[in-house]
Structure 1
Amino acid sequence: MVDGSSSTDDSPAATPQDGTRRGFRSWSGALRWMAGIAILLVLALVAGLVTTVVLVRRPWPQTSGELEVPGLESEVRVLRDDAGIPQIYADTLHDLMLAQGFVHAQDRFFEMDVRRHATAGRLSELFGEDGLESDLVVRTLGWRQVAEQELTMLRPATRSALDAYAEGVNAYISDRSPSEMALEYTLLGLTGLDYTPEKWSAVDSIAWLKAMAWDLRGNLEEEIGRALASAAVGPEAVDELYPAYPFDRHPPIVQQGGLLGDVFDQDVASAGTELLQRPAPGGRRTVAALAGIRDVLAGVPALLGKGDGLGSNAWVVDGEHTSTGSPILANDPHLGISLPGVWAQVGLHCRRITSDCPMDVSGFSFSGVPGVVIGHNRDIAWGFTNLGPDVTDLYVERVAGDLWQSGGRALPMTTREEVIEVRDGEDVEVTVRSTDHGPLLTDLVDVDEELDALEVADDGLVEQVDDVAGAALDAEEAGWDVGVSLAWTALEPHPTADALLALDLATDWDSFRAALADFAVPGQNVVYADTRGHIGYQATGRVPVRRAGHVGRAPAAGWVRSTAWTGRYVPYDAMPNVLDPDSGIIATANQAVIDPRRYPLRLTDDWDQGYRSTRINELLAADDELSVDEMAAIQLDDWSAIGQALTPYLLKIDLPAGYYSDGQRLLRTWNYRQSADSGAAAYFNVVWRELLQRTFADELPAALEPDGGDRWFTVVSRILRRSSNHWWDDVETDEVERRDDILRDAMMAARDELTALQSPNADEWSWGELHELELRSATLGESGIGVVEWLFNRGGWDVAGGSSLVNATASDASEGYEVVTAPSMRMVVPLDDLDAARWINLTGVSGHAFHPNYTDQTDLWARGETLAWPFTEEAVADAAEDELTLTPDS
């Protein structure tokens, strides 16, 4: 429950519903109060270019010479190559972690500062009421409180690393003014923000893991989507819109083994069991509450990205499939696009490997978190893809005041008070209420207002009342109201941070698996290779064991005690894993982990449909002499499965000769590849978008419009075979449309669209011109002020690939064609020669606008190129362009 200090119309911060209507879709929203910056900047430019250059360059890091850094025990060397990537050398683990914190702060402190405000529910302190919607959700979920609890659970070595890292960050910010740390602080200061950053703490680092878990949380959107779709088109149609995983066509990750008691054994077989799903609570008030919650949750800043485009590719092959006879591992996580990018490349090297200083690792880190998340050390390499286990459940609750019903009893909710400070506004007081299942999300929603919106909306919503829904309505008559709570494993403290440090120090399969035992959220697929020639796979994450009849596919009745989680989790040793599989290939691309017929424990039902993974497996199996270059080329594969499935039907459509048949002419010679210069790919993707709109928009609410990703590949592929399937009919017309009617209209509309967007000459069309990559700063880059956005945003890259392709530069078909998620980095590691590894970042290591390393890797990334990735000390020294010595405080 939220209480502001004023209820007048000119106090929009008073209720969270106003924030929902505004739609906080980035960290800063509109930032209307920044309009004056544009005038000030223009005056500054007119007054003198030199002044402007000084302001821009003032925060840039010193990368050569010497710097005194308080807290160091001995000298630390920081070598940077021409991409600015730091390789850090120290004598102790304490100094190594401290130096990493210092270097991260040099390159990206503003990003780190905004992230910790976001994860603490304190964006409003920096950005005013535009940050309020996000803060309300984060405070309700209690990310910061969970992080504080987790800090007390960590191993001493992990705690020491976090504290040393924080020392380094604080050493950087202690003697610098905000304008010396980021241009963004200078501009915010011009708006009147009087701000001095607080000291960094270990909790600031741990809280980032909560944000990572939130963005990769699994099937919460599908759970809400099924409920809304059931209300719109009926429960039977939901199975068509959310199809089961096609195990017969797309093999899972692990294709051998099963459970032997509570332990997964790769050499045994195991039969599965089928769980039945209880009906979800229905009724218009429940539907209204879920629709409002969906909007509110969308307002949380996506620090890693959101939507069906989130995912990753990772694979590893053994020496039988490579030209060198040693394993090669590849990884490219598909995350939201941002500037700076998600990853900060770094090398962390103890000068002498000892028990006191055992680290020698290089890879991709998160600014704000010590260590390397993905990469390799001198013994092993690893990569991540999102497992996406079902670790969230929504519960429709019966509530009355601060009471909720469970098993026929009225129980008190737990409550806590939060106060959100709002820049240039009054504080907002929040009462967070929770049932035994979790926090009550409906306290962030005006259900009556949502209900009124449903009453007048022409979006096809109809009332679905089953037995459980009838019970809900009876409860309302007895004085109970509808609430919705969230159960989520990430709200239960667990020492996930232990896993990251232990992973960096792992030396073989056993220590690798032991490190991942603490990796609770978000659940991941982790591929492995080592210098001894072994390859492997391990599934991670705390997955709740649910009672029979409740499988988490739709919101559950919270007042029915048997729907509650059992309090047990899938044992780590029971999670699927395999070492040196018979095939010699392990490919993960968010597909199903294992066939349920051999594995009875339920991880989720909402897997990626498997188009990327099947393509990857085919390409890997076709070559027994794979090289680093060939593995990198597979990462760029832009072959379209839906292109192959749909194009034959498009070629059979009878179109008027000439103008409207030009696109069809391009398709006749199309190889189903979506290269940036392909006119056929441009035409196909516009047809695809038009087809989705014309087939489904007449029956689904706007919130469920097709985004064109892997689920829709399956949905459309299935109905293509039936020309009179009910989805083809437009219910808003008097006629009964069939498949070919929709295809013809989509093709003709696509021709008109491309004429308007690109050229009347079909030979001048190109997919890349439609499918552009625009990198935007999530804070001031979304200010709405042209000159401010010009300072921080970069764009205009024409890129290949597309949604649910191996080169997964996804767009959202409900919005347009621009890239919304993409490979956030690419890496390929040969285990026989670590200096021959290759890597690339979506942006660059620097978070400072106009710095040479701000977007210097993006041009290479867009062309599919990579950088050399030196690892040994000699190779790093040969590649070094700058050397900075950090010395203890005299």
Structure 2
Amino acid sequence: MGIGFRWLLRIAAGLVALVVLVVLLTYYLASRSLPDYGRSVQVDGLSAPVEIVRDNANVPHIFADSDAGVFFGLGYAHAQDRLWQMTMMRRTAQGRLSEVMGRRTVAIDRLLRRLDIYRLAGQSLEAQDAQTLAALDAYAAGVNARLQQVNDEALGRGAPEMFLFNAPVAPWSAADSLALVKLMGLQLSGHLSSEVLRARVSLLLEDESRIADILPDVPGAGLAALPEYSSLFPTAPRYAEAKTGPRDPLSPVPRRGFAGASNAWTAAPSRSASGGTLLANDPHLGFTAPTVWYLARLELETGGVIGGTIPGIPVVLTGRSARLGWGITSAYVDDQDLFIEQLNPDDPEEYRTPDGYKAFQTRPSIIEIKGSPPITLTLRWTENGPVLPGSHYGLESITPPGHVAALGWTILSPRDTSLSAAMALMRSRTVQEAIAASEGYIGPAQNLSLVDQDTIALKLVGAVPRRDPRHQSKGRMPSQGWRSENRWQGRMPYDTNPEFIAPAGGILGNTNNKIVDRPFPDHISFEWGDTQRVNRWQRLMQSRQVHTRDSFIEAQLDPVSFTARTLLPLIGADLWFTGEAAPDGTPERQRQIALSLLADWNGEMNEHLPEPLIYAAWVRALQARLIKDDLGPLAEEFDHVDPLFIERVYRDIGGASAWCDVRQSAPVETCTDMARLALDDALLWIGETYGTALESLRWGDAHQATQDHQVLGDVPLLRYFVNIRQSTSGGDNTLQRGLTSGEDPTPFHNVHGAGYRGVYDFADPDSSVFVTSTGQSGHFLSRHYDDLSQLWRRGEYIPMSLDEGLARAASVGVTLLTPRAP
């Protein structure tokens, strides 16, 4: 017995020692890839030294004697901090994820191969101007210098993930950066999905007039510039007089409602307390750890620029120079059309055109799959664009037999000069120069908010397809690809893109809302990304005569839901303060408590309050009850509440209250019945998930920002090291936007929002501030992996200065890159 016990003890001790050894070895190997920011490195590809000064937030400030040296330094810094992220984005664009991830990502690779964006990016190199080509080559050389250093010095393969997913890392090329721009376009695309959904709904609904309810048009005229303050408040003094003082996380295809969103607003000197122009911008993308955004300062020959970059792309996409500030919001241009192509009955390798049948352009493509045999695809293109199989986007449900679907999309241009335009924008000094520089921008289409020292402007940049006024579906649903009136006729002239320059009211902004109301085909889009936030923005902007940097920050962080304030009085109109007292613990009592809480609520989606959770669960349950009997399984596609739909139903616009009656039941249900039943559904779900003590609920417990690692985020134990979870305020329709997942069992997780926030005051540019939602490093052992996340959650910022002395004063390290000795 004693001998057996001793052996068991020895075995246990050995296992513990083995575990400790494995942990220490893993930590050692992973920590080898942690960058050393305070050293000198000899590298190939340089003709003169480059200095990378890391400020106390680990933001690189890059100095060199030429622009080529600066872009070399940016490539090196990106690869130091985000090598894994860069290589995964490149593999996504290439359609080569499965070489590393196995069968999990085959569907993603199939789609990206068919879209062919990587080949098109390579072709677009010839269209770039000389400055951009030089910058791309220098940037690639900087990335490759870091790769060479990792290999020469055995620096843990550059990132800890490389040990788990061992695959060779090819040298970076100029085409790789162009491909990532196109990949960003895919992440911000939504019109293809909308066309398919509209077609499916039209096929399903017996009453076609109900399509306008469930897929409503955005009402009203467009809004970008606000009127003069004095016209709204005639008795208010003018500023001049007042002188007021100072699904697979790896998939780049967005779900419906996730095709990009953002906020941006500007104020002219006449509406600024400091007398300088103001700009605030917070682009919204899906949350990941690390965030897609990376802060950097580039000291170019034309002056310094600082702001948000995306690793792999050598431009500041949103930020400022000493003279110009720029911000971006998704423009929702209808830049995608789905064409149903008719096959030749006698030869399925041909499709019908206005001039008769024509052969597809075809090319084989082989997808290598880790652990499985490779797959060979035949890529097919028509004159309208690449052919997509029925397995993508649910196309099989709307494509007739003997036909295939082809995609027309502005991003699929082999002469895409978007990056050259972005480079020229960085070097612009005035609003007019910036607008002119952006003419070559193709996509993804953006509303570009601009300020210089004196002027504010908003310009839609990006290619807008020219459509025939006779187009069968006006681009809203798939159309017959062989009819000439359905085909694109080139690009609309750049000067017809909407623009607003120096409006009399002194305020411009965009929340992805409708900015113009033009008839087809000059309409820009039938679908817009926001119908709600813009109302709150308009109120905040016009509630004060002049603005400051802090008032712009306050608007960025505003958690009040205009939607909740609008919908609750409608859906609860016949429920407030009705009925007799009910015993504790009964559904009736819970309903009364919930209604009492909501009746005193101001619509603030504060993480510490119970009302936002009750409201969100109620309207979610309500929409589900309204549409499920009519749409059946298709109702699952509507996983986020559409406020316009609910409002149409409860105001009975065009007979929309018909949605309240359950068709399969004998009684005729009223909208009050549906509201009451939905509230009971919501309270039952809340009770099962968070408990029955309604007053103790916290919205933040449900609305956690899920900044998860795209690959390791689901790995047991490891997920606690790589995921960043935070309780957050805001919601789907607040300016502090935190779009919820819409998917059970966590429908209110915050999965899409402002990964970057910046606010710039050109009366004192160095008082400008910025922040990202995680940190600069993609290495989960680095203190800079999540050091900005708590600031971001609390609504705090860090200084954003072009002052070299401030960067050096509290730097975490200075990297000196010097040419390798011959």
User: TM (normalized to structure 1)?
Assistant: 0.82
Change (3 A) 1:200 1:311: same
Structure 1 range deviating more: 163-172 or 747-756 = 747-756
Determine if contact 1:315/1:586 at 8 Å carries over to the other structure: yes
Which of residues 545, 556, 564 in structure 1 aligns to 2:466? 545
Q: Does 1:371 align with 2:333?
A: no
2:199 paired residue number:
227
Partner of 2:673: 741
Letter in 1 for 2:716: G
Deviation at 1:175, TM superposition (A): 3.4
Partner of 1:617: 538
| Residues 127-167 of structure 1 deviation map (CA, whole Å, 9 limit, x = unaligned) | 11212111111111111111011011111110010000000
What SS does structure 1 have at the residue aligned with 2:659? Answer: helix
1:382 aligns with 2:326: yes
Aligned equivalent of 1:290: none
Aligned partner of residue 308 in structure 1, secondary structure? coil
C-alpha separation between the residues in 2 aligned to 1:187 and 1:798?
A: 30
| Mapped contact 1:215–1:306 kept (Cα < 8 A) | no
1:882 aligns with 2:804: no
2:375 matches 1:428: yes
Name the Cα RMSD after superposition.
2.4
Contact 1:639 1:673 in 2 (8 A): yes
Aligned: 1:396 with 2:367: no
- Structure 1 partner of 2:180: 208
**Percent identity between the aligned chains?**
27
**How many corresponding residue pairs?**
763
1:182, 1:58 → 2: CA distance? 9
Return the offset for 1:779.
Answer: 1.9
Q: 1:446 to 1:50 in 2, by over 3 A?
A: closer
Change (3 A) 1:447 1:673: closer
Q: Give the 3 Å change call, closer, same or farther, for CA 43–871 of structure 1 in structure 2.
A: farther
- In structure 2, the partner of 1:413 is 360
Question: Structure 1's 857 and 43: CA in aligned 2 closer, same or farther, altered over 3 A?
Answer: farther
Cα–Cα, structure 1 residues 730 and 821, in superposed 2: closer, same or farther, change >3 Å?
A: same
TM-fit CA distance, 1:111? 0.6
The corresponding residue for 2:3 is none
Instruction: Give SS of 2:319's match.
Output: strand
Partner of 1:442: 389
1:719, CA displacement in angstroms? 1.1
Closer, same or farther in 2 for the Cα pair 1:299/1:238, shift >3 Å? farther
Q: Closer, same or farther in 2 for the Cα pair 1:660/1:239, shift >3 Å?
A: closer
Q: Residues 155 and 128 (structure 1 numbering): CA distance in 2 closer, same or farther, change over 3 Å?
A: same
> Match of 1:58, as an amino acid?
R
* One of 552, 559, 583 as aligned partner of 2:482: 559
Aligned-residue offset at 1:254? 5.2
CA-CA distance at 1:397 after TM superposition? 1.6
2:268 counterpart letter in structure 1? D
Per-residue deviation, residues 199-246 of structure 1 (Å, max 9, x unmatched): 100011100011111122242221111101111114322122222221
- Which residue is equivalent to 1:179? 156
Farther off after superposition, 624-633 or 822-831:
624-633
Question: 1:282 aligns to what?
Answer: none
Match of 1:30 in 2: none
Q: Cα offset for 1:255?
A: 7.5
1:758 match: 690
Q: How does 1:445-464 map to 2 (within 5 A)?
A: none
Stretch moving more, 800-809 or 395-404: 395-404
Distance 1:677 1:74 in 2: 54
Q: How far apart are residue 409 of structure 1 and its match?
A: 2.3
8 Å CA contact 1:692–1:708 kept in 2: the answer is: no
- The secondary structure found in structure 2 opposite 1:243 is coil
2:291 aligns to what? 341
Match of 2:602 in 1: 671
Shift of 1:578: 2.3
Residue in structure 1 matched with residue 263 of structure 2 by the alignment: 313
Q: Partners of 1:662 and 1:527 in 2: how far apart? A: 45
For residues 16 and 673 of structure 2, the distance between their equivalents in structure 1, rounded to whole angstroms, comes to 55
The 8 Å contact of residues 707 and 751 in structure 2, kept in 1 or not, is answered as no
Using the TM superposition, give the Cα deviation of residue 505 of structure 1 relative to its aligned residue in structure 2, in angstroms: 0.6
Q: Which residue of 2 aligns with 1:490?
A: 411
Greater mean alpha carbon deviation, residues 307-316 or residues 668-677: 307-316
User: Against the structure 1 CA distance between its residues 306 and 336, is the aligned structure 2 distance closer, same or farther, given a 3 Å change threshold?
Assistant: farther
For 1:783-840, what per-residue CA distance to the aligned partner results, in whole angstroms no more than 9, with x for missing partners? xx31343342232x11100002111101143541111211111110001111101111
Q: What is the SS of the residue equivalent to 1:517? A: helix
What amino acid maps onto 2:220 in structure 1? F
User: Structure 1's 884 and 408: CA in aligned 2 closer, same or farther, altered over 3 A?
Assistant: closer
Q: Look up the match of 1:458.
A: none
Aligned to 1:500: 422
Q: CA deviation at 1:359?
A: 4.0
1:284 maps to none
Give 1:806's aligned residue: 735
Letter in 2 for 1:184: E
Shift of 1:179: 2.9
Instruction: Give the match's secondary structure for 1:331.
Output: strand
Question: 5 Å matches for 1:521-532?
Answer: 521-531=443-453
8 A Cα contact 1:254 1:577, kept in partner: no
Amino acid at match of 1:824: G
Residue number in structure 2 paired with 1:253: 224
Q: In structure 2, do the counterparts of structure 1 residues 443 and 646 end up closer, same or farther at CA, with 3 Å as the change threshold? A: closer
The 1:561–1:792 alpha-carbon spacing in structure 2 relative to 1, beyond 3 Å, is: same
d(CA) in 2 for partners of 1:332, 1:161: 26
CA distance in 1, matches of 2:612, 2:226: 34
Alignment counterpart, residue 78 of structure 2, candidates 100, 104, 111 = 104
Task: Tell me how far apart the structure 2 counterparts of residues 78 and 72 of structure 1 sit (CA, whole Å).
Answer: 14
Which range moved further: 425-434 or 728-737? 728-737
| TM-aligned CA distance change 1:602 to 1:446, over 3 Å | closer
> What's 1:242 paired with?
215
Residue 631 of structure 1 corresponds to: 552
Distance 1:303 1:872 in 2: 37
Moved more, 76-85 or 632-641: 76-85
- CA shift for structure 1 position 422: 1.2
In 1, distance between residues paired with 2:755 and 2:638? Answer: 20
2:564 aligned with 1:643: yes
Q: Could you report, residue by residue, the CA deviation over 1:678-707 in whole angstroms, capped at 9, with x for unpaired residues? A: 111111111111111111122224444365
Per-residue deviation at 1:758? 1.9
Q: Letter of the 1:406 partner, please give it.
A: T
Q: 1:404 to 1:859 in 2, by over 3 A?
A: same
Contact 1:212 1:304 (C-alpha < 8 Å) held by counterparts: no
Q: 1:807 to 1:327 in 2, by over 3 A?
A: same
| 1:576 counterpart letter in structure 2 | P
Residue 361 (1) aligns with residue 305 (2): yes
CA apart distance, 1:583:
1.1
Distance 1:876 1:866 in 2: 16
For residue 49 of structure 1, report the CA deviation from its aligned partner.
4.4
- Offset of 1:600 from its aligned partner? 6.8
Residue 650 of structure 2: which of 720, 733, 736 is its match? 720
Give, in whole Å, the separation in 2 of the partners of 1:570 and 1:881: 49
Name the CA distance, whole Å, in 1 between partners of 2:613 and 2:393: 42
For the residues of structure 2 that align with 1:791 and 1:651, how far apart are their CA atoms? 47
What secondary structure does 1:217 align onto?
Answer: coil
TM-score, normalised to structure 2, is 0.89
Quick one: which amino acid aligns to residue 162 of structure 2? Y
1:835 touches 1:875 (CA, 8 Å); kept in 2? no
Partner amino acid, structure 1, of 2:412: L
> Would you say the 8 A contact 2:190–2:256 is kept in 1?
no
User: Relative to 1, partners in 2 of residues 1:602 and 1:887: Cα closer, same or farther, differing over 3 Å?
Assistant: same
Q: Deviations over 1:637-662 (max 9, x none)?
A: 11112211222242631466333311
C-alpha distance in 2, partners of 1:446/1:366?
27
Matched to 1:659, the amino acid is Q
Q: Secondary structure at the match of 1:372?
A: strand
In structure 2, how many angstroms separate the alpha carbons of the residues matched to 1:701 and 1:346? 49
AA matched with 1:362: I
